[in-house]
Amino acid sequence: MSIRYPAGFIRIGYDPLKVPDAPTIGTATAGDTQASVAFTAPSNVGGSAISSYTAVSTPSGISASGASSPITVTGLTNGTAYTFAVWALNTYGPGPYSAASGSVTPAEARGVFGGGNFPNNTVIDFVVITTTGNATTFGSLATAAGALAACASSTRGIFAGGNGTNVIQYITISNAGNAVDFGDLTAARGGLGGASSNIRGVFGGGTGASNVIDYITIASVGNATDFGDLTVGRYNANAACASPTRAVFAGGVNSSNVDLNVIDYVTIATTGNAVDFGDLLNAGYGLTGCASSTRGIFSGTASQSLGNLNTIQYITIASAGNATDFGDMLAGTNGGNFASTSSQTRGVLAGASSTNIIQYVTIASAGNATDFGDLTVARGELAGCSNAHGGLQ
């Protein structure tokens, strides 16, 4: 691309010898009618400091500006493939465009819920996270599973494990259809937790291998690889969530059948053992986790000492510390065995034993859950993921 002046730019004072060099393009990540464009600032900023960067789409020339990476370009058309280039501006004018990013295709923000307890444990449903309404049938799991875990990239959903199985299977979230075999976990187990960046999925805990953490590269089918160990062995649907860089595991039951309030974390890109993060409000199991890029939400608790709780609690993922009260789930949805998924702004909770209720919260604003709609089939011990979380950058 050649240099183009931005709208409203005044040519007086333009000096091509003092404009910034081109930024180095990074990864573009698609969302719902938008994309996040990452880049690295040029080392040569020209004759003055860079005041802004602009990302421009091909096709359509849709642009957005910001002071640093990444820049979110909105107003894109779902289902259309785009590339992006970025240029920098200082007081002497706009610099040249970067190279083009890889192609990405925006898609509606879908939350997908798969598996569950007998007899409905092959069902996959989906919802559009930005709206409300009943779930729609997506397809079926390739291998029946309850008490399984899920995670996702911006394009692919992963379901792993479940009672008595080590199977990993995947779906393409934007295209309804049945799941396909991906590979195997390092050990068969259920009641594990799953979380991911846009590149790597991690699975922690579970019956029979309760302190084990595995990982996969979401875009590449194959067996899981050992990542490290949790700080304490845990099983029985321990919850997990993630920011783009950090995965967090919370709650569960230890090998002595004692409820846990422990929260651990790992850095997703770096293998190694988990580190203590803090504590939940109450020890318990059957929780479910979801997140924005900054805040993790844990919902529902089954406690052997306190009974079934409808508590929602939250953490700031980048800052270790104890969980804080967020609000309550809908009346009649106490206890555990829910699934949840999220976009950058909304967390969606679904199911639990003998219920088909879907509810949601606004992740940035503490408060009680609101009714969303119903699953196609009532079931618990299911798992959820979304293309809108996997793409958080």
Spell out the SS3 assignment of 179-246. Answer: CEEEEECCCCCCCCEEEECCCEEEEECCCCCCCEEEEEECCCCCCCEEEEECCCCCECCCEEEECCCE
**pLDDT number for residue 4:** 57
Domains of the chain by residue range: 1-106, 110-390
Q: Is 272 exposed, middle or buried (0-12, 13-18, 19+ CB in 10 A)?
A: exposed
In terms of Cα–Cα distance, which of 324, 327, 302 is closest to 315?
A: 324
Tokens 């990239």 belong to residue:
153
Q: Which residues contact 12 (CB under 8 A, 6 or more apart)?
A: none
Task: Map tokens 């409820």 to a residue.
Answer: 259
The parts of the chain modelled with pLDDT lower than 50 are 391, 393
Query: Residue 6: its pLDDT value, please?
Result: 55
CA distance 317 to 382: 24
Cα gap 167→19, rounded to integer Å:
54
Q: Give residue 331's pLDDT.
A: 83
Length, in residues, of the chain: 393
Task: Tell me the pTM.
Answer: 0.86
Name residue 216's beta-bridge partners: 201
Position 393 scores a pLDDT of 42
Evaluate whether the domain defined by 1-106 bears CATH number 2.60.40.10: yes
Q: Which residues of 170-185 are buried (b: 16+ CB within 10 A; e: fewer)?
A: bbebbeeeebeebbbb
Strands 200-204 and 193-196: antiparallel
Query: What SS3 state is found at 390?
Result: helix
> One-letter amino acid identity for 351?
G
d(CA 150, CA 169): 10
CB 125 within 8 A of CB 113: yes
Q: How far apart are CA 382 and CA 159, in angstroms?
A: 10
Q: 345 by DSSP, 3-state: which? A: coil
Non-local (6+) Cβ contacts of 263 within 8 A are 248, 249, 250, 251, 276, 277, 278, 279, 280, 315, 322, 323
Q: For residue 46, list its beta bridge partners.
A: none
Torsion 274-280-286-292 (CA) sign: negative
Which CATH number describes the domain made up of 110-390?
A: 2.120.10.80
> What is the structure's pLDDT at 9?
54
Q: What's the pLDDT at 303?
A: 84
Structure confidence by residue, pLDDT tens digits, 199-258: 999 999 998 778 999 999 999 999 999 999 999 999 886 799 999 999 999 999 998 889
The whole-number pLDDT of residue 391 equals 46
Q: Using CB atoms within 10 A of its CB, is residue 367 exposed (0-12), middle (13-18) or buried (19+)?
A: exposed
